[in-house]
C-alpha cells in the first residue's frame, strides 16, 4: 500500500469520501495547491521536522496529498494529507501526517469550507521513528 493510500485511509476510515462529493466549492478546486508546514511545539525531540514545508496537490474528492523526503531524520518520507468530509453534523477537515511508521490525524470544525488557512492542534506522532510520542507537532495548511 502506498504512503498516500495509508494516509488517506486513516483520514477517512469510515469511507465517507465515497458517500459524498465534498464539502463545497472551495474543497473541490483541482487547480488549488496547498502548502503543509510542520511546527515542533515541544522542547526538543522533533527538531528534524520543525519548519518543514512542502506542497500538497489535489487528489480528488475534496482531498490533497503531498510527500517530502528528509535525510535529517534518517531517510524518511514524510507525507501530509487533507480531506474535507461531510457527516450528519456537517462538514469538517481532517489533516494528517505520516513519518516513518508514525502518524497523527487532527480534526478541525470550521465555519469555512475553503482551506485558505487550517491549523490542526498540536499532536504527537504515534509509533514514529522521527520523534518521541511526548513531543507534539502542529500541522498548518495554507493556500
- Which residue matches cell numbers 477537515? 93
Residues 51-91: pLDDT tens digits?
899 999 988 778 889 999 877 666 678 899 988 877 777 77
Residues 24-47: pLDDT tens digits?
555 666 677 889 999 988 776 677
Q: Where are the alpha helices (DSSP H) in 3-140?
A: 3-11
Q: Domain locations in the chain?
A: 32-37+62-142
Tell me what pLDDT residue 80 has: 94
Tell me what pLDDT residue 17 has: 65
Residues 4-20: pLDDT tens digits?
989 888 888 877 665 65
pLDDT band at 133 (very low <50, low <70, confident <90, very high): confident
Q: How far apart are CA 45 and CA 40, in angstroms?
A: 8
Tell me which residue of 124, 125, 122, 127 sits closest to 139, measured CA to CA: 122
Amino acid at each position: 500500500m502506498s504512503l498516500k493510500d495509508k494516509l488517506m485511509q486513516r483520514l477517512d476510515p469510515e469511507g465517507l469520501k465515497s458517500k459524498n462529493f465534498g464539502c463545497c466549492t472551495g474543497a473541490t478546486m483541482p487547480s488549488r495547491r496547498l502548502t503543509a508546514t510542520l511546527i515542533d511545539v515541544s522542547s526538543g525531540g522533533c527538531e528534524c521536522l520543525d519548519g518543514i514545508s512542502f506542497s500538497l496537490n489535489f487528489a480528488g474528492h475534496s482531498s490533497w496529498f503531498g510527500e517530502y523526503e528528509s535525510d535529517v531524520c534518517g531517510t524518511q518520507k514524510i507525507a501530509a494529507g487533507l480531506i474535507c468530509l461531510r457527516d450528519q453534523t456537517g462538514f469538517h477537515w481532517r489533516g494528517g501526517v505520516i513519518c516513518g511508521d508514525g502518524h497523527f490525524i487532527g480534526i478541525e470544525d470550521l465555519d469555512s469550507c475553503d482551506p485558505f488557512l487550517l491549523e490542526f492542534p498540536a499532536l504527537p506522532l504515534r509509533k514514529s521513528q522521527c520523534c518521541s510520542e511526548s513531543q507534539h507537532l502542529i500541522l498548518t495548511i495554507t493556500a
